[in-house]
Chain A
Amino acid sequence: MAVASKPNNIPKDHEERFLKAFDEYSDALFRHAFLRINDRERAVDVVHDAFAKVWTYVRAGHEIKSYRPFLYKVLNNLIIDEYRKTKEASLDALLEIDGIDEGTFAELQEDGVDSMIANLDGQKAFDLLSELPDVYREVLILRFVDELGPKEMSELIEETENVISVRLHRGLKLLQALVEKAESTATGKRAKPKTT
């Protein structure tokens, strides 16, 4: 963690600290937002809104010990708001599917995730992320792009680590299926001229 790793370098001024956080995390936040909502301009706006909200919080006299998780939290809430505006119906439907299921034992194993991604092509998987429902995309981005730990993720999206583990597992499964599907269509396309 960036903040924790530089304990001697904490600026004393609120403004200074805030701008430092902007310089450190704005790129990562933009990436996260862009991957979640697939819209460059909107992603920039959301990041701006997140910083504005955090600044308001600072002005109210609150002390922010570590900016990174706080910024992610605010950003995540804004992205969910964004979703509600655009894809309300589909999001609700997706949440309904996920919420009830407790998940199988395999899905709760972290090893399972590791073995699954062992055979997965990262580049292809990245391209197909946008195809996934947001609940799965969210956890996958937080885990593999933003490289958050299970505990941080659970605090951020306010779900138990088990639920996150299940989502990761299912997200990867879906991703794997999508990758395989894409591969098969690609090979099909390549094979087609041969056969035809």
Chain B
Amino acid sequence: MKQFNQQLQKKADAVKMRVAEKRELRERVISYMEYHPLPAELKVATKSRTALAKEIMSDPFWVFNINTKYVQSGLVLGALILFVGVPTLAEKSLPGDILYNMKVSVNEEIRSTLAFSPYAKVEWEAERLERRLSEARLLSQAGRLTEAVEQEVADAVKKHSDSAHETILAMHETDSENAILAEIAFASVLEAQADILNLQGPVTLAVSDATDEPTVATTIALAVADARTQTENFDPSAVTPEKLFALIERDTTYAEELFGSISSDTSKEEADSIDRRLGDIGRKVVLAQEKMAMLVEMGITVETVEAASDIQPSTEVPTSTAELSVALTTSSTNVREEETKQLIALLRTALTDTRKLISFMTDIEVRNSVTVENLVPITLTDEERTQLVEKQLREIEVLRAEIDTLVIEPMLEEKIVPAVAEAVAKAEQATAALKSGLLADAEVFARESLALITDSRALLVGSAVLPEIISGDISTSTATSTEGSPLETTTEEATSTEPEV
């Protein structure tokens, strides 16, 4: 075998290209290569000695060629996720979530450093307080509210209200007016939240599993109540009403905007009732403005009186006029103070109502557990009040006619007759008051008269059911506008005044 291979190989080796043939073939191949050169990307750049040396040096290392474009966009993306994505996610977290700490100790702290003025700081503390409470509501709705979290929320409420108070006190020394304003705004938030919590109490209790122990509502509500007692009693008259107006204006604008944005997904009834409350607030503001105009006028008259009294202070003439003017001034100053207090009180109610409405509209949990009727009772307009009095008067008329037709037992006669007479007299007084525009008086008379006549009739018929029927009748007939209105108290009084008759 070896022999055969060797012999064959020997012969085969003899078969060769001649040198000339080979050279020619090589040239042909090279010229073919030259006519068909490699595309640029396949060409390997000839390397200099230093480049080769570098290659040797860097050989043991891995070299990653990463396009700087990708690196940049990757960095941008990473930064976006870190500085926008995570905080945004954190904003929606609740106590117990991973990102909750970030929300409270990063996001909110950053925002509080952005609140430059002390006033803005107080506002931000108020918002943080509201956030804590709404988180607690969400958790309680989901059945995730543990005692620890509850305590945490209560602590947070205390912390934020303390911080707000500190800021207000510090502010009071330099800028008392804004401090009082901040105080009023903060108090309105607290009041709104306290009302919501009070209304919500049973709901929260039902959700939490511990039945006997003080639960969410109580622990947190206590914290809020505590915060309310802390409020400094600054003299509210130091605030110019204009600033309060501005505050209310801002809040109501926000409330209107909110209403616009949520009106698409609320029922018509709810939308109507919110609209009505906004209208009420608007009317309160108008009333306050009228009051203020009146006060301004008053101020001018006082000043003129003062000026008049200043003319002849040196003369020896008996100072009767001066005394008079002083008395006038003091009395009018008292009136002014009284009026200003009323004005501020009115504005505060308007502010608190606005806050409540805002809470109601922004916090879905509040909306689920509290009705707007309970949260912000309706305020009747003068027209509605007049209508109500007129209606009551008509009812008195009807009841009187009914009593006339009934046979009065001698035993009851001495009770019934004077009562009816008094009722009729009061009804007449009410009518008179209504005519002369004294609405408040007319209301009182009409209410009393109605109570008397209703009781008389009840005695006559001998049924205790009757007043209820009547009250039901009345409240349904005025249901659209009078829930929680004076009318209900009327019927309540009707039942309570019964023994007197």
Contacts and interface: CB of A to CB of B under 8 A. Distances in A.
Interface of A: 12-15, 18-19, 22-23, 26-27, 30-31, 34-35, 40, 44, 47-48, 51-52, 55-56, 58-59, 61, 114, 117-118, 120-123, 125-127, 144-145
A135 B36 CA distance: 35
Contacts of B1: 114, 117-118
B12 A126 contact: yes
A34 B22 CA distance: 14
Given A55-B32, A55-B33, A30 B17 contact: yes
A43 to B, nearest CB: 9
A125 B8 contact: yes
Given A55-B29, A123-B7, 15 more contacts: A14-B38, A15-B33, A30-B25, A31-B16, A48-B29, A51-B29, A58-B38, A59-B36, A59-B37, A118-B4, A122-B7, A122-B11, A123-B10, A144-B4, A145-B8
B4 A31 contact: no
A127 B16 CA distance: 15
B25 to A, nearest CB: 6
B8 A31 contact: no
Contact of B11 (A19, A44, A56, A127): A127
Given A14-B42, A31-B12, A122 B33 contact: no
Given A26-B22, A55-B36, A123 B16 contact: no
A12 to B, nearest CB: 6
B39 interface: yes
> Which of B1, B3, B12, B43 lies at the interface centre, i.e. has the most chain A CB atoms within 10 A of its CB?
B12
B267 interface: no
Interface in B43-58: 43-44
B15 A35 contact: yes
Nearest to A30: B17
A56 B4 contact: no
A61 B201 CA distance: 79
A52 B39 contact: no
14 contacts: A12-B44, A14-B38, A14-B44, A30-B15, A30-B16, A31-B16, A34-B15, A51-B32, A55-B32, A61-B39, A114-B1, A121-B7, A122-B8, A122-B11
Contacts of A127: 11
B471 to A, nearest CB: 97
Given A44-B25, A48-B25, A56-B36, A122 B17 contact: no
Contacts of B28: 48
Contacts of B42: 14, 58-59, 61
B28 to A, nearest CB: 5
A62 to B, nearest CB: 10
B44 A13 contact: yes
Contacts of A125: 4, 7-8
B314 interface: no
Given A31-B12, A47-B25, A59-B42, A52 B32 contact: yes
> Which of A40, A52, A122, A145 lies at the interface centre, i.e. has the most chain B CB atoms within 10 A of its CB?
A122
Interface in B403-458: none
B320 interface: no
A48 B28 CA distance: 7
A174 B238 CA distance: 129
A151 B245 CA distance: 99
A145 B12 contact: yes
A59 B40 CA distance: 10
Contacts of B7: 121-123, 125-126
A148 B30 CA distance: 28
B26 A22 contact: yes
A126 B11 contact: yes
B301 to A, nearest CB: 102
Given A123-B11, A126-B7, A144-B9, A52 B29 contact: yes
B383 interface: no
Contacts of A22: 26, 29
Interface string B224-239: 0000000000000000
A35 B24 CA distance: 20
A125 B15 CA distance: 15
B242 interface: no
B5 A26 contact: no
B9 A31 contact: no
A12 B41 CA distance: 14
Contact of A122 (B6, B39, B41): B6
Nearest to A124: B7
A117 B36 CA distance: 46
Contacts of A51: 29, 32
Interface in B132-190: none
A145 B16 CA distance: 13
Contacts of B25: 26, 30, 44, 47-48
Contacts of B33: 15, 18, 55
B358 to A, nearest CB: 69
A26 B30 CA distance: 13
Contacts of B21: 40, 44
A126 B22 contact: no
B4 A117 contact: yes
A145 B15 CA distance: 11
A44 to B, nearest CB: 6
A126 B12 CA distance: 8
A18 B5 CA distance: 31
Contacts of B11: 122-123, 126-127
A126 B33 CA distance: 36
B44 A144 contact: no
Contacts of B41: 61
Nearest to B24: A44
A52 B30 CA distance: 9
A40 B39 CA distance: 34
